[in-house]
Structure 1
Amino acid sequence: MRLIPRDERFFDMFGELAQRITTSAKLLHELFSHPDRLVEYEARIKDVEHQADELVHQVNKRIDTSFVTPLDREDIHLLATRLDNVVDLIDGTARRARMFRITETREAALQLTDVLVRAGECIEEAVRDVKKPQSVADIGRRIKDLEEEGDATYHEAVGALFDGTPNALDVIKWKELYDKLEEAMDECEDVSNVLESISLKNS
């Protein structure tokens, strides 16, 4: 019997961070669907990014004040940081879309953000099941499949930018946006790997 109970609130905070990934990814999908409302969606994504930053701040503060944590302190910090990184990358994509004055909808951007939304939902599920290694491993394989789907879409989209005689500025703008979306997807896989490691260590 524990004399000092473990601080289980960390798991709730991880869940809240994971929700911010899905929320911001859905908003980014809407941004690329409705570029006429770009300023509105970019602002809403920025608000979610601030929420995620505050959650990470709370996690780090709680690490310092908790006598007994449910996971290694290093793992808590790493997972919170990885989750926040995905939100930061989504926010960075939205900011670039606004800076680049995006005015058109491109199917590849919708496909890539759809993959991000599904990856976010998988991460939420994995965080809920973090104490079940087999479930987390199964979800990890789904995230890997999504990452590969995103890679295929990314490569096709970037190649298509150079078809014919494209406008050079359009190529530069969309290539950078696609790069950021792929980077966000890669970070989702990194989150999945951290979750799998934590789940195995604490099973």
Structure 2
Amino acid sequence: MGRKTFNIDPREPPCTLRKTATMSIFTLLTKTVGFKKDHLLGGIPMRHVLRSIAVSVAIAPALFVNTAHATSWFDYSSTPAVQITSTDFHAATLLRKVTVVCPKAGFIVANATSQFAIFPSAGGWAYVGAGFSLAINDPAPTEMDSNSAHYISAYSDGITESGATQRVASCTAGQTMNVFFMGYLQTAETASSAYNPTLVVQFFDTRI
């Protein structure tokens, strides 16, 4: 191709732009529109403007990498329904389980939610109740964790309630973390099911 002539500023003579793979931003501006390092853009010397642009371009990839990395560190488990059958606090019914391996030293945050239907097993009215909690790295039979346990109870012919619980635990690089969402019946007269029990586990390498 032939050379292209640009005449952007009528006060300046035409200038010629040649193809080059190594042309810098400042060189490009100098050749096309006659910018000088001391020219002002909004009262700011062009050399400062160009330096700010270069710094922004340099750090942008690092910001995108960190964001993409953080959003990949999670796992979850969910199912339509699980019947709660255990009346033993120390051997509860497993509602959901998620196993994660920490990519580095940091923290896991576990969140569990469900809708609980609780009613007398023999019908009529009775005192009924169910509990749920999160356990981490507990051997079988897995028991309820008193630090994250919640209870729903009433004298009733049947109730439905939503429930949620959360736990935070530290972990080391490469450590396997087994997280259990557990439920149990508080009385032998209780029947209960957990609907849409969901367990979500996230990893964070630093605190705010």
TM-score w.r.t. length of structure 1: 0.22
The structure that is helix-richer by fraction is: 1
The structure that is strand-richer by fraction is: 2
Larger Rg over CA atoms: 2
